[in-house]
Amino acid sequence: MLLFMLLWTCIAWGQQPWLQSHPRLLFTGAETPEVKQLIKNDPLAGELASFLKTEADSVAGLKQLPYEMDKYGNMLYTSRGYLFRLGTLSLAYRMYGERKYLDAANRALLWVCGYPDWNPRHYLDTAEMTAAVAIAYDWLYDELPRATKQLVKACIYKNALHRVLAEYEKGGPGSWAKRETNWNVVCNTGMVLGALAVAEDYPEETHAILENAAKYMPNCLKLFAPDGVCYEGPAYWGYTNRYLAMYLKAVTDNGGDKGKIAELPGIPRTALYQIRTLTPSGHPFYFGNAGIGHESFGGPAYFLYSKMFHQPEVAAWNRNEVSKALHGARMFDQVFFLSLPWFDTASVEEASNIPALEVYHNKINDIVVFNGDRRKKGSVYLVAKGGLPNQAHQQMDCGTFIVESDGVLWTEDLGADDYDLPGFWDGKPGGQRWKYFRNNNFSHNVINIDHDLQYANGHAFVCEEQPEAKQPFATLNLCEVYREKAKSAYRKFTLIDDCTMEVEDEVELLDASSRVTWVAGTKAEVKANGNKAVFVRNGKRFYMQIVAPTGAVFKTYPAKNTYKGEKPIKGITMLEAECAFKGTSGKVIVRMSSRKL
């Protein structure tokens, strides 16, 4: 009876109309002629195709990567390396048909399938390697040697599919398959891609994986509600959405998005959120564990979302990013090759006005964005955040902001430190994580009270917003963050005019002798003179002035590491003003403008 049921399942799956023939993952066979025509008709797509071929030529001659762990105990670099290699080679073969790409992909598949495993101890490694192997297996299915296909199928099952079924059944809330962070989406997507690639051979496993992935991915994605914010920061927005986009395309083409993942609150808006929180010059707001080297530009996820959610603004923006990447001004995403089959030519009929104030609400990290009229010289842009430091990849940065005008960033976020630092993940109040300069509030553009840490379990959030006011403003409630030193604390951001922002901190202290210090970090040259400061960078100037309290003055000092092993800090100047109140209550008000104050 059991044998009959298994046989029936295999036959049924083989007859399912929703399971496409190979290639079925991310770029179906039916889409191939359309993309080849696009390459001929669209200059940018043609340039991207030429870049793909150049990269494939380079990759084809590379030595294979050894099975070895890095200092963090993982082989994520290797898995991502093969995701890039196998995707690039496989797509190049589909587009150009040159045997060298097929042969190189075949050699790589044989190599990675010869590894002892794909490091299930750090399951991201397994997930990304599974994605890499699944894409190549599927895209080259009709051309790979039979022996290679047999080996690949067996390895996908041994290294991935049979492991995930036990995890779904026995794993707790902190399991990589069920947790509330990027791991959830990345790992589940890797398993879905692997399962769909070999669905004919492992139908029951494929059914179980599709069902459970749709069940557990919302554990992470619910935290994008309601406006698309990824609370883990821009780097993990990129990582999560790289895989979420692959998941959505794969299931949409093979049975549909039955879990309605694309309809979860925030997901339809997340690409718009991400591009609106970039400065006009394209600089990300590097909050949390983000920073130089963590970002990726020209990501194909933007193209998929622009099509899926009918957002030509996103498509136009991403085409510009792809163009920059092709000319060396941006970094390509590791799955850049998907930008070609997902390429979106949609254009914006007319430029829409960017609102003066946008608020993106989130359970953990509310984000506020201010825009002066970008048609005016010297218009200001500011983005700021709330926060909850004890959450994944967070820092003590509640209330921090970056500000830009004339294409120059005037305040900085230093980004992530080394994940291998002792106690780096100890984020409880008093935890070792908060000893490191980049992680604590002393490196951020916030207030400090008596040079004390923000409270790690405190939540900062938007409590008032007036986008339609003559001078739009938003206020952050920071009471929990400063609870150990203050009865209350609020930070209000106001767009005074197109070129001027005002930051007002209203604090009621527990002790009248406490001192409130206003701090901002910058790469600019800063000249402080009493209650005024002039920033100079790239031939441009920016101005700050302490409006209140009277008597407060600015001073500067170089930002420095506090512990051995931290990433070096170079060229950052901290501007601060120590403020005393008359009694326990007072305000610190700082104006900042591209015009002389």
Residue 393's domain is classified under what CATH number? 2.70.98.70
Closest CA to 298 of 276, 328, 268: 328
Interatomic CA distance for residues 263 and 269, integer angstroms: 10
pLDDT reading at 15 higher than 70: no
- Supply the pLDDT for residue 10: 47
Is the four-CA dihedral 307, 310, 311, 315 of positive or negative sign?
positive
What CATH number is given to the structural domain containing 57?
Answer: 1.50.10.100
- Supply the pLDDT for residue 295: 53
The answer to whether residue 286 sits within a structural domain is yes
Interatomic CA distance for residues 242 and 274, integer angstroms: 13
pLDDT, tens only, 470-514: 999 999 999 999 999 999 999 999 999 999 999 999 999 999 999
322, 458: one domain: no
The answer to whether residue 328 sits within a structural domain is yes
Q: In the predicted model, what is the mean pLDDT of residues 97-104? A: 98
Mean pLDDT computed over every residue of the chain: 95
Share of the chain above pLDDT 70, in %: 95
277, 387: one domain: no
- Supply the pLDDT for residue 8: 41
The answer to whether residue 351 sits within a structural domain is no
| Bridge partners for 475 per DSSP | 464, 492
452, 588: one domain: yes
The answer to whether residue 543 sits within a structural domain is yes
Among the candidates 288, 311, 339, a domain finishes at: 339
Q: What are phi and psi of 276, to 5 degrees?
A: -75, -20
Q: Which residues span the domain enclosing 303?
A: 2-339
The answer to whether residue 58 sits within a structural domain is yes
Structural domain tally of the chain? 2
297, 386: one domain: no
The answer to whether residue 344 sits within a structural domain is no
Q: DSSP states of 153-186 as a string?
A: HHHHIIIIIHHHHHHHHH--TTSTTT-SSHHHHH
Mean pLDDT lowest for which of 31-35, 140-144, 154-158, 345-349?
A: 345-349
- Supply the pLDDT for residue 11: 47
Q: What is the CA radius of gyration of the chain?
A: 26
Burial-class residue 432 by CB neighbours within 10 Å (0-12, 13-18, 19+): middle
Interatomic CA distance for residues 177 and 267, integer angstroms: 19
320, 370: one domain: no
563, 495: one domain: yes
Among the candidates 283, 311, 339, a domain finishes at: 339
Cα Dmax for the chain: 88
Among the candidates 311, 339, 367, a domain finishes at: 339
User: Which one-letter DSSP state was computed for residue 382?
Assistant: E
pLDDT reading at 293 higher than 60: no
362, 232: one domain: no
497, 527: one domain: yes
154, 6: one domain: yes
pLDDT, tens only, 219-271: 999 999 999 999 999 999 999 999 999 999 999 999 999 999 999 999 999 99
pLDDT reading at 351 higher than 90: no
The answer to whether residue 352 sits within a structural domain is no
The answer to whether residue 410 sits within a structural domain is yes
pLDDT, tens only, 207-217: 999 999 999 99
370, 310: one domain: no
236, 291: one domain: yes
57, 196: one domain: yes
Helices 123-139 & 182-197 angle (0-180, nearest 10): 30
